[in-house]
Chain A
Amino acid sequence: MIYRSHVLVCGGTGCTSSKSMEIIKLMNELLRENNIENEVKVIHTGCFGLCEKGPIVVVYPEGATYSRVTLEDVKEIVEEHLVKGRIVKRLLLGDKDAEDVSKALEEVGFFKHQVRIALRNCGVINPENIEEYIARDGYRALGKVLTEMTPEQVIDVMKRSGLRGRGGAGFPTGLKWEFAAKAKGDQKYVCCNADEGDPGAFMDRSILEGDPHTVLEAMAIAGYAIGANQGYIYVRAEYPIAVNRLRVAIDQAREYGLLGKNIFGTDFSFDIDLRLGAGAFVCGEETALMTSIEGKRGEPRPRPPFPANKGLWQKPTILNNVETYANIPEIILKGPEWFASIGTEKSKGTKVFAVGGKIMNTGLVEIPMGTTIRQMIYDIGGGIPNGKKFKAVQTGGPSGGCIPAHLIDTPIDYDNLIALGSMMGSGGFIVMDEDTCMVDIAKFFLEFTVDESCGKCPPCRIGTKRMYEILDRITKGQGEDGDIEKLELLAKNISSSALCGLGQTAPNPILSTLRYFRDEYEAHIYEKRCPAGVCKELLRYVIDENKCKGCSLCARKCPVNAISGEVKKPYHIDAGKCIKCGACIESCKFGAISKMA
């Protein structure tokens, strides 16, 4: 069926939670009311990336992109734009008066600096329609591999492309496949790690929601390369939209004969099943993930043997991350040289980041490796809100570290980030401004690892807990001389003795903040002072006698009666009773109350 216009509505998790599904429903009703339901088609897509401005609605063929669309706006879009051809300028993203609205959008900084390979279909196709994926060259790479290439040639292409694992550690994908291809075994497996667990990271979710078939296609290619006929996708049960779209995609691929027996009329057969994870962070670690797929408690085991030789059910297995797979069909179709021409010397291609924290354009971006932190924050991210100063960026989640403001011109790639004491990780990019306490941030990530430690090995189970206790004391003003040294010793011992990646990298948030913000630790310990004004126990609330008019409002607002005084004379706060809730600051009309670090 040919329509004159397509309306694409973002159906990612972010926009869905701001009512994009209701927008679709209402729009369809209004199209019927205006008798143009046979002319205009409404489609839900994956994430467009600019989650901050969601829900996003794009009208083709004009390419008009509307942002922050509410249910109240839908009628205007239908009656003005779709019936009468008048673009609703007030909702447009980008230059509202541009002659060509789709070109104007390309000029928006957020999109201008991106290169979309893994996200090429996100926001462009309907993820629940396999034919739209096929229209965008979907499954052609699989066809090419099965009919024109040997498994050795596929592995050679992967090696020459320079693709490295996007899950965090950056292991060369071609090499991993080669190990598994050479391993002897009657049965081999291909697994996909979709157990995205870093706080603030949502790259894999968006790919699964926006373009599930690319993962299926790449897994089949991997199966052919190593000689496997079965794949498993291990995906978090907390991603209901992604799980549902994967199910739809697998069913459609089977129906079209793109999964199953004798694909493209060859001897190659391959099928994929889903396994849902219950949300344990450690199950993102490869050996724990496979143990969990086997139906056992998700705990890691020592390596070697590596999964390429003894993985799932003791059979040779490869495990790649969602984003790694999403690059593979394009590499096959456009060639390894094309892919290797993007990026830096040792980090090829692009990387998807989930940009969050103190930044204007929260969202999902894909940048060529080698883009600097400054470009990410200011050109793409739109800078820091409220005119605050940039202090640091946290990458790599609980395994990574904080990179301080003076290193803002560092090009982002695997090796640079590791040299700075952080890591690429899966792609979390959390921006912090001057109001962030770095000791508190380290404590936040440590609390996460303490919670998520599986408890199998003592360095992680006990060591991270001890580190957390020390950090907790420091932030409460009970830090002692020698605490920093204790943290450093514990960190060194834990990273060298823990069983798996979770424990080995758990001290990184502490080590990197100690490296760049040691003075903040020292201020907490020796001066009992939190320079950023975050740690409650180290703050004092005081009333400026010169500004206080004695109106008594704060005293009435104080929930613990810590403020006293005589009307029309300056009031004061009893530090012993004060619980530092901040209610008095909010109530004061004269700006007389402040926090003292």
Chain B
Amino acid sequence: MKSLAELEAIREKALKEINLRDNTGKTRVVVGMATCGIAAGARPVMNAFVDELNKRNVQNVNVTMTGCIGVCRLEPIAEVITADGVKTTYVKLDPEKARKIVVEHLINGRPVKEYTISEAE
């Protein structure tokens, strides 16, 4: 170890890996992973969320799973829930849409209206 900067570089890299063990004050992306969701392709959607968030170095979002949300015909479904409880429900997702939600909604703060449940209905 030659300098504090070197330690800091290791710290940042390692922090990214254990970041998900801290869930205070974070936005959550909750992906429906019941039988209906998995059959409709929820797993690649969830992995796309995880991958894109990591690529773009987003630290304040955790991706978690839940069971059936109830509108099985609109799966894969994911909900974005901010730390103060504002909920946006996205439906009929695929990996591409997930990546777009990361960039538009989770980074730039603009929900992707055309993928939301209110548009689909």
Chain A residues near B (Cβ < 8 Å)? 1-6, 8, 39, 60-63, 83-86, 102, 124-125, 131-132, 134-137, 139-140, 143-144, 147, 256-258, 263-265
Contacts and interface: CB of A to CB of B under 8 A. Distances in A.
A135 B18 CA distance: 8
A23 B59 CA distance: 30
Contact of B65 (A85, A102, A137, A264): A85
B17 to A, nearest CB: 7
B14 A62 contact: no
Nearest to B10: A134
Contacts of B23: 60-63, 102
Contact of A4 (B4, B13, B63): B63
Contact of A131 (B10, B47, B66): B10
Residues of B in contact with A, size category: 20 to 34
A135 B10 CA distance: 8
Contact of B38 (A84, A131, A132): A84
B7 A134 contact: yes
B46 interface: yes
A134 B18 CA distance: 11
A455 to B, nearest CB: 47
Interface string B15-29: 111101101000010
Contacts of B28: 61
Interface in B1-52: 1-4, 7, 10-11, 13-18, 20-21, 23, 28, 31-35, 38, 46-47, 50-51
B54 interface: yes
Given A6-B18, A61-B23, A135-B15, A83 B33 contact: yes
Contacts, number: 97
Contact of A264 (B2, B14, B20, B38): B2
Contacts of A263: 1
A61 B7 contact: no
A85 B1 contact: no
A264 to B, nearest CB: 6
A36 to B, nearest CB: 8
Most buried by B among A4, A8, A62: A4
Most buried by A among B16, B18, B32, B46: B18
Nearest to A136: B18
Nearest to B38: A84
Given A84-B33, A132-B18, A62 B3 contact: no
A94 to B, nearest CB: 15
Contacts of A144: 4
Given A85-B65, A143-B7, A1 B2 contact: no
Contacts of A125: 18
Nearest to A85: B65
B11 A84 contact: no
Contacts of A124: 21
A228 to B, nearest CB: 19
A84 B31 CA distance: 10
Contacts of B7: 134, 139-140, 143, 264
